[in-house]
């Protein structure tokens, strides 16, 4: 293996860092291997890597014998990767796609996602992973291991009371998320201003008594104005409510009116546990259920 430092230096010799793309390259071979270990990647896997950049993680993933699809938006990096991994591309082990991972088509048979992602796409990537997981035409992803900004990781797993919010609550509908190794700035080139953390996500297998999409709308509506009581924030029907089968503003208003005196409506969103959101969504659904 050529190692991270060689791959990073090779790419940086071809172009300057583009900060708008969040280009901070991990150069610790030990920490790069850690992502592959956490995901337990093996030769039977089809892995998606997002934003391979110089290919430091790409190289370690390919060493496992897995089939790898890598999506990179930077054309100079694409040219570099084509040269660095020409044998793997020729053999079909590596499928290199030039494009934006948030809008490019993903393979339907992915088993794992492992990536050191640009931090600015963290939230939309979680959304995309969730849609992919819920898609009945795709195979279920068993593991997601991504390197993100530490603050984002803490909000995703709701590490502290102050981290409780819509991100972590809605993620619980589909994912079990664990916060893993901390990565200090000196492990990158160039150094970011923040610490990073690996997060490990696996699918949530629990069946819920109500539509996940309704729970999601309730959570987002509640946390949209987190200082207000739910009595205030849930009064207006959420946007896109009519996308849920059987739901419309009149049904929402009827359900809301039935629970206006419920003591739960005096709570603020951060006072609700995950099960509280599930129960409230279930209650709304039961009351407003159409004949």
Q: Which domains does the chain have, with CATH numbers?
A: 4-203 (3.40.50.150), 212-288 (1.10.8)
Rounded-to-integer distance, Cα 200 and Cα 179, Å = 7
pLDDT at 22: 63
Residue 263 pLDDT > 90: yes
Residues contacting 7, CB < 8 A, separation 6+: 54, 55, 56, 59, 84
Rounded-to-integer distance, Cα 267 and Cα 259, Å = 13
Q: What is the greatest pairwise CA distance in the chain?
A: 67
Helix (H) or strand (E) holding 204: none
pLDDT at 118: 87
Residue 124 pLDDT > 90: yes
Q: Average pLDDT for residues 79-88, to the nearest whole number?
A: 97
Rounded-to-integer distance, Cα 57 and Cα 116, Å = 8
| Percent of the chain predicted with pLDDT > 90 | 86
pLDDT at 228: 95
Residue 51 pLDDT > 70: yes
Q: Is the peptide bond before 190 cis (omega within 30 degrees of 0)?
A: yes
pLDDT at 20: 63
Q: Average pLDDT for residues 193-219, to the nearest whole number?
A: 94
Rounded-to-integer distance, Cα 150 and Cα 25, Å = 16
Rounded-to-integer distance, Cα 126 and Cα 157, Å = 13
pLDDT at 291: 41
User: Is this structure's pTM higher than 0.85?
Assistant: yes
pLDDT at 14: 86
């Amino acid at each position: 293996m050529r190692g991270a430092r060689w791959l990073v230096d090779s790419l940086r010799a071809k172009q300057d860092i583009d900060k708008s793309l969040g280009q901070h390259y991990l150069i610790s071979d030990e920490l790069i291997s850690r992502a592959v270990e956490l995901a337990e990647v093996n030769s039977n896997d089809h892995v998606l890597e997002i934003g391979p950049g110089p290919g430091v993680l790409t190289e370690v993933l390919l060493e496992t014998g897995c089939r790898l699809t890598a999506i990179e938006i930077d054309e100079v990096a694409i040219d570099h990767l084509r040269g660095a991994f020409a044998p793997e591309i020729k053999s079909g082990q590596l499928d290199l796609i030039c494009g934006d991972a948030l809008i490019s088509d993903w393979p339907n048979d992915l088993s794992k996602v492992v990536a050191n992602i640009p931090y600015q796409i963290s939230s939309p990537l979680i959304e995309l992973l969730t849609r992919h997981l819920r898609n009945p035409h795709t195979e279920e992803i068993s593991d997601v291991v991504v390197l993100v900004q530490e603050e984002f990781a803490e909000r995703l797993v709701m590490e502290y009371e102050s981290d409780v919010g819509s991100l972590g609550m809605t993620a619980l509908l589909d994912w079990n998320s664990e916060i893993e190794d901390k990565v200090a700035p000196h492990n990158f080139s160039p150094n970011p201003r923040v610490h990073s953390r690996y997060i490990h996500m696996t699918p949530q297998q629990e069946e819920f008594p109500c539509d996940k999409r309704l729970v999601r709308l309730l959570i987002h509506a509640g946390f949209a104005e987190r200082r207000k009581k739910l009595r205030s924030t849930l009064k207006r029907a959420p946007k896109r409510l009519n996308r849920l089968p059987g739901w419309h503003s009149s049904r929402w208003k009827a359900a809301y009116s039935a629970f206006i005196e419920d003591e739960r409506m005096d709570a603020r969103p951060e006072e609700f546990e995950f099960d509280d959101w599930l129960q409230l969504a279930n209650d709304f659904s039961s009351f407003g259920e159409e004949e």
